[in-house]
């Protein structure tokens, strides 16, 4: 492997960002430091990435977006919010999907690298990709959406997952239900982990044992929700209610239960999460936790555009997008 920007930074006693700025002719680095960095780079045989340099000299007017899935109302709403902001800032979008896969996520990052002014990322693989992400962030600003970053130096926008799930489960408890199961999503999903926390907290607060409740696996798709509904039908005893970690699975489960002749909410109550546009048109209309998904994309994109215009020179912050319970006929 050749000499990297981090190798030069270590020997020169500066940050990798400073080295990047030196070779991008930034006026943010004083003459003395520039001379030292260039001398070290020359001695070590370092050659700056030509593509990365071109981005600093002339904008691509492109924003990169990486999301776990390329389809569905949830992700389309996020992208719609991002696109509105990007268009207003005279930027276009390059969108890629990781399909919840680490290898595909890394491939997407490599594919977008050098082609964009900044990156908006929603991923379940932050820890495994930290070194690659840190390298990319030297050249362009990166903003994360709903990803598990604890104590990160990156700007992050998160959904109020735990509180939202707690509120939905508490609503089911207040309806008099005592046997309240859960339909899970992908096991490595940050959303799922936080929503399970909220679900368990509400049950524990009500004196109900979370570990005694039915747990059904899912993968966030409507098809997996339908399969979950079939599993519910095969349980020894039918639960009073279910909290689903997203609306797609809730709607799929409802379809399976209704096909078997069960009435919702009379036989089984169901609550979801996200409030996708079709939730209120379902029969019965789905009780769910409303997340302003469009606003999530919009605000994350606004932050990224600000960072692009300031060369990323501002303090990283964590933003939380609030959620609210929308009670409809399914409970």
Task: Please check the confidence at residue 50 and state whether its pLDDT lies above 70.
Answer: no
Q: How confident is the model at residue 271 (pLDDT cuts 50, 70, 90)?
A: very high
Q: How far is CA 178 from CA 237, 257, 295, in A?
A: 13, 19, 35
* pLDDT for the residue 93: 94
Task: Please check the confidence at residue 28 and state whether its pLDDT lies above 90.
Answer: no
* pLDDT for the residue 214: 97
* All CATH 3.40.50.2300 domain ranges in the chain, comma separated: 61-158+293-322, 161-290
Proportion of the chain above pLDDT 70, given as a percent: 91
Task: Please check the confidence at residue 52 and state whether its pLDDT lies above 70.
Answer: no
Give the CATH fold of the 61-158+293-322 domain.
Rossmann fold (3.40.50)
Longest Cα separation, the chain: 78
Mean pLDDT of all residues in 167-194:
94
Backbone angles phi, psi at 90, to 5 degrees: 60, 40
Pull the structure tokens for residue 102.
């680490």
135-162 core/surface letters (b: 16 or more CB in 10 A; e: else): ebbbbbbbbbbbbbbeeeebbbbbbbbb
For 50-59, the CB contacts below 8 A with 24+ separation are: 51/113, 51/114, 52/20, 52/24, 52/114, 52/139, 53/23, 53/24, 55/114, 55/116, 55/117, 55/139, 55/140, 56/20, 56/24, 56/25, 56/26, 56/139, 57/24, 57/25, 59/117, 59/308
Pull the structure tokens for residue 40.
């070290």
For domain 161-290, which architecture applies? 3-Layer(aba) Sandwich (3.40)
Mean pLDDT of all residues in 16-30:
74
Which among 208, 221, 300, 223 has a CA at the least distance from the CA of 256?
Answer: 223
Which among 212, 222, 228, 223 has a CA at the least distance from the CA of 247?
Answer: 222
Q: How confident is the model at residue 55 (pLDDT cuts 50, 70, 90)?
A: very low
* pLDDT for the residue 171: 98
Q: What is the pTM of this model?
A: 0.76
Give the CATH fold of the 5-48 domain.
434 Repressor (Amino-terminal Domain) (1.10.260)
Query: Using only C-alpha atoms, what is the Rg of the chain?
Result: 23
């Amino acid at each position: 492997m050749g000499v990297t920007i981090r190798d030069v930074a270590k020997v020169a006693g500066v940050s990798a960002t400073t080295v990047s700025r030196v070779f991008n002719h930034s006026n943010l680095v004083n003459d003395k430091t520039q001379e030292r960095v260039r001398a070290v780079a020359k001695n070590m045989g370092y050659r700056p990435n030509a593509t990365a340099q071109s981005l600093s000299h002339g904008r691509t007017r492109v924003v990169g977006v990486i999301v776990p899935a390329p389809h569905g109302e949830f992700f389309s709403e996020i992208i719609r919010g991002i696109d509105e902001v990007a268009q207003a800032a005279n930027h276009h979008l390059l969108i890629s999907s990781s399909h919840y896969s680490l290898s595909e996520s890394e491939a997407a990052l490599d594919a977008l690298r050098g082609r964009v002014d900044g990156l908006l990322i929603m991923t379940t693989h932050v820890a495994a990709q930290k070194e690659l992400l840190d390298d990319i962030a030297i050249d362009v600003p990166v903003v994360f959406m709903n990803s598990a970053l604890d104590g990160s130096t990156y700007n992050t926008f998160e959904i109020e997952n735990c509180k939202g799930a707690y509120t939905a489960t508490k609503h089911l408890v207040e309806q008099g239900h005592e046997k309240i199961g859960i339909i899970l999503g992908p096991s490595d999903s940050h959303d799922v982990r936080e929503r399970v926390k909220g679900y368990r907290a509400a049950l524990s607060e009500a004196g109900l044992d979370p570990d005694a409740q039915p747990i059904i696996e899912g993968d966030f798709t409507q098809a997996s929700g339908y399969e979950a509904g079939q599993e519910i039908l095969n349980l020894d005893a039918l639960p009073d209610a279910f909290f689903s970690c997203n609306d797609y699975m809730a709607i799929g489960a409802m379809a399976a239960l209704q096909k078997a002749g069960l009435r919702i909410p009379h036989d089984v109550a169901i609550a979801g999460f996200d409030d996708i546009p079709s939730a209120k048109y379902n029969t019965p209309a789905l009780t769910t936790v409303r997340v302003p998904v469009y606003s999530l994309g919009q605000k994350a994109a606004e932050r990224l555009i600000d960072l692009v215009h300031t060369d990323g020179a501002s303090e990283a912050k964590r933003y939380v997008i609030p959620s609210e319970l929308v009670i409809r006929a399914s409970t």
